[in-house]
Amino acid sequence: MRGEDRRIEILNQIKNSDKPLSGTVLAGIFQVSRQVIVQDIALLRAADYDIISTNRGYILKGPNQSSRVFCVRHTDDQMEEELNTVVDCGGIVKDVFVNHEVYGEIRADLNVSSRLQVSRFMEGIRSGKSSPLNKVTSGVHCHTVLAESKEVLDSIEQALGEHGFQVRRIE
């Protein structure tokens, strides 16, 4: 099978699956290495397909997935707790963004969907490789959160509020 044809079929497999598909499963279906699947996913993303990597496999953001923007404020010490709150409720933290008074919107992709990914992200922050975006806006920042339903998003919103993180939500 040609690479282009395989990528179309990979997209169809992910789109039609009712659960995330791992690289290993896709590699078995198409009888190629997992690395080939990773490269195909990168090419599909470059072609503007919104494929998200989760700890359970690949999903395609589409009409079956709900999203909501939560704008929050917390201290640096609470960052890990905030992200874990979202993923523990079943959400994927797609990105983080701030609205800077001079530069406008500054956005960075996160695609964090598990405690392990939160931990790795926090290692990067703690190592000093980078600073959180909320430093430029006195702690206020927003996350686009993806989930399988609006009910899951509602439970994430409630949990964020219970932890004192909720500033406002944007539909």
Average pLDDT over residues 84-110: 89
pLDDT tens-digit series, residues 111-127: 888 899 899 889 888 88
pLDDT tens-digit series, residues 44-88: 988 888 888 877 889 887 655 788 999 998 888 899 999 999 999
Enumerate the domain spans of the chain: 3-60, 66-170
The percent of residues above 90 in pLDDT, for the chain, comes to 41
Residue 78 has what DSSP assignment?
Answer: G
pLDDT tens-digit series, residues 67-79: 899 999 888 889 9
Count Cα atoms within 13 angstroms, Cβ side, for 31: 2
- What topology does CATH give the domain 3-60? Arc Repressor Mutant, subunit A (1.10.10)
Other Cβ atoms less than 10 A from the Cβ of 87: the count is 21
Report the pLDDT value the prediction gives residue 115, as an integer from 0 to 100.
92
Kind of pairing between the strands at 104-112 and 92-100: antiparallel
The CATH number assigned to the domain with range 66-170 reads: 3.30.1340.20
Report the pLDDT value the prediction gives residue 75, as an integer from 0 to 100.
82
Total-model pTM: 0.64
